[in-house]
A and B are shown apart, each in its own frame.
Chain A
C-alpha cells in the first residue's frame, strides 16, 4: 500500500498528464462517430455570444458586398417568377402545402482551413432550428446543422471530411455523393457517378432528390475536371463551387416538413426486410 501511494506521489504529474490526455483523446474519438453531438462546440452561449459580438462589428465592413449579393439573388428569383409560364397561384403559396419552410440567419463564424470545418450561425432552438436541417446561401449549398443551443447552431460545412451529400447532374437523374478531399477550399468531389454517364467540363451539379435534408436542384457548382476512380467503373468529379466558402454571410435554413414522416417510413421499410 505504502509503495502504491509512493508511486502515485512520485509520478503524480505523469499520471495527471496521462489522465488529461486520455480525457482529450476520449472527447476527440467520441465525436468522430457520426452525429454524436459534442459538448465542445461553438454553438454554446458563451462562444456564440463572443462570436456574435465580433460579427456585429466586422459585418459593417462588407455590407456593400453583401447587399450586392442579395440583390443579385433577388434579381435571379424575380427572373424565375416573372418568366414562369403559368402564373403563380396563391393556393400554391399556401404554407400548409409547402414541403419546406425557410428561415434566414447570419454566419457569425466561418472556417475552411481545417479538415472538419464548422460554421456557427446566429439561429438556434429558439428559432426552431434543429439537428439535420439543410443550410444554403444565396449562391448555393453550405452544409447541415450539427449542434444547436438556444440561440446558436453549428453547421457541418460541405468542406468537412465527414460531410456526405446526395448530388446529381442537372437535368439528369444520375446521382452520386458529394465529399471533400480537404485539398482546396473551393473544390469538392462528386463520386460514384457511373462510367456510362456522359460528362462535360462545365456541367452544373445540383443537389439530388434522394435526401430528406435538401430539396432537389439547389446549385452546388460546375464540373472542373473528371477522372475514372481506381476501380475504373465510376467517375470521380472535381466540382468548382458556386459559393465562395471564404465569404459566408447570409444563410437560409431549410426545414423539411415531411422529414419525420419520410424517416419513419424508411425505418419501417428497413425493419420489414
Chain B
C-alpha cells in the first residue's frame, strides 16, 4: 500500500514533467499562453504526508521544469512557494475539517475543489511572473499574464483532474 503510494507519486511527477515540457510548453496559444499543468502535482499530493518532504519534492518538480525550459529557477521558486502555502490555502478553503483523518479531497464539494485549485494557480502565477519580469513598473503586464495564463492553466487542470479523478484511488 505504502509503496503503491510512492509509486503513484513518482509516476505522476515524471509524467507531469514530460507532459509539461513536451506538450504544454510548445503550445504557445495566441503566441504566449503556455499553461502550467504541472501544478496538479501539488493539488493531488496526499494531505497527511510529511510537509518537509512535500516542500522538497515541489522544489525538485519546479527545478526539473526549469531544467527543460531554460527559465533559470523561476518555476522552482514559485512551486516551492505554493507548496509552503498549501496548508494555509487548504485551511482557508476547507475550513478546519481538512485536518481530520477522514478528510479526502474527493469528498469536498466541487466549489471547494475549484477554489483550492484556483488559489494554488493564482499564487503560483503571481510569484512566477513577478520573479520573471522582476519590475513593478510592469505591474499591468504581470497582471495580464497572471490572468490570461492562469485562466488557461485552470481550465486545463480542471479537465485533467476530472479525467484522472483522485477519489477513485
Say if the beta carbon of B90 comes within 8 Å of chain A: no
State the interface size on chain A (CB cutoff 8 A).
Answer: 40
Is B165 part of the contact surface with A, judged by Cβ < 8 Å? no
Knowing A42-B68, A50-B68, A118-B70, say if A20 contacts B31 (CB, 8 Å): no
- What is the CA–CA distance of A110 and B28 in the complex, to the nearest angstrom? 11
Majority DSSP secondary structure for residues of B touching A: helix
Determine whether B72 belongs to the interface, using a CB cutoff of 8 Å to chain A: yes
What's the Cα separation between A87 and B41 when bound, in Å?
A: 64
> Are A116 and B71 CB-contacts (below 8 A) given A13-B52, A20-B76, A25-B131?
yes
Chain A window 104-121, contacts with chain B (Cβ cutoff 8 Å), 1 for yes, 0 for no: 000001111111111010
Q: Are B76 and A113 in contact (CB under 8 A)?
A: no
* B residues in contact with A51, CB < 8 Å: 68
Contact B73 A40 (CB under 8 A): yes
Q: Is A31 an interface residue (CB 8 A)?
A: yes
Among A27, A113, A116, A117, the one with the most B-chain Cβ atoms within 10 Å of its Cβ is A113
The reply to whether B133 and A115 form a contact with Cβ atoms under 8 Å apart is: yes
- Decide if A70 is an interface residue (CB 8 Å cutoff): no
Query: Closest approach, in angstroms, between the C-beta of B81 and any C-beta of chain A?
Result: 7
Which chain B residues in 61-78 approach chain A with CB under 8 Å? 62-63, 66-74, 76-77
Chain A residues with Cβ under 8 A from B69's Cβ?
A: 42, 111, 114
Contact A27 B33 (CB under 8 A): no
A186-199 to B contact mask, C-beta < 8 Å, 1/0: 00000000000000
Contact in complex: B73, A27 (CB < 8 Å): yes
- Once the chains bind, are B73 and A13 in contact (CB under 8 Å)? no
Bound-complex Cα distance A12 to B132 (A): 28
Q: What is the bound-complex CA distance between A114 and B132, given in angstroms? A: 9
- If over half of A's interface residues share one DSSP class (helix, strand or loop), that class is named, otherwise mixed; here it is mixed
Q: B52 touching A42 by the CB < 8 A rule? A: no
Contact partner of B71 (CB less than 8 A), chosen from A13, A25, A54, A114, is A114
**Beta-carbon contact of B76 and A24 below 8 Å:** yes
Q: Is the CB of A28 within 8 A of B70?
A: no
Chain B residues with CB under 8 A of A110: 26
B55 engages A20 (CB within 8 Å):
yes
Distance, CA A47 to CA B69, complexed state (A): 9
- Expressed in whole angstroms, the minimum distance between the Cβ of A239 and any Cβ of chain B is 17
Q: Once the chains bind, are B74 and A28 in contact (CB under 8 Å)?
A: yes
The number of residue pairs between A and B whose CB atoms lie closer than 8 Å in the complex comes to: 102
Q: Are B52 and A25 within 8 A (Cβ)? A: no
Query: Is B121 an interface residue, CB under 8 A from the partner?
Result: no
Which of A25, A50, A54 is the one whose CB lies under 8 Å from B77?
A25
CB distance from B52 to the nearest CB of A (A): 6
Kindly state whether residue A163 has any CB partner on chain B within 8 Å: no
Against A, the Cβ 8 Å flags (1 = close, 0 = not) of B12-26 are: 000000100110011
Q: Is B59 positioned at the interface, with any CB of A under 8 Å from its CB?
A: yes
The answer to whether B59 touches A20, judged by C-beta atoms less than 8 angstroms apart, is yes
* Contact status B73-A116, CB under 8 Å: no
> Is the pair A13, B51 in contact by a Cβ cutoff of 8 Å?
yes
Lowest 10 CB-CB distances: which A-B pairs, in order? Answer: A24-B77, A27-B73, A118-B70, A17-B84, A24-B73, A24-B76, A28-B72, A113-B32, A31-B72, A20-B59
Known pairs A17-B81, A42-B69, A111-B25; list 7 more (Cβ under 8 Å). Answer: A13-B84, A24-B76, A24-B77, A41-B70, A51-B68, A184-B31, A246-B31
- Show the binding face of B for A, using Cβ within 8 Å: 18, 21-22, 25-26, 28, 31-34, 51-52, 55-56, 59, 62-63, 66-74, 76-77, 80-81, 83-84, 131-133
Write 10 A-B pairs (CB below 8 A) sorted by A numbering: A14-B84, A17-B84, A20-B76, A24-B59, A24-B77, A47-B21, A113-B34, A116-B72, A118-B70, A185-B32
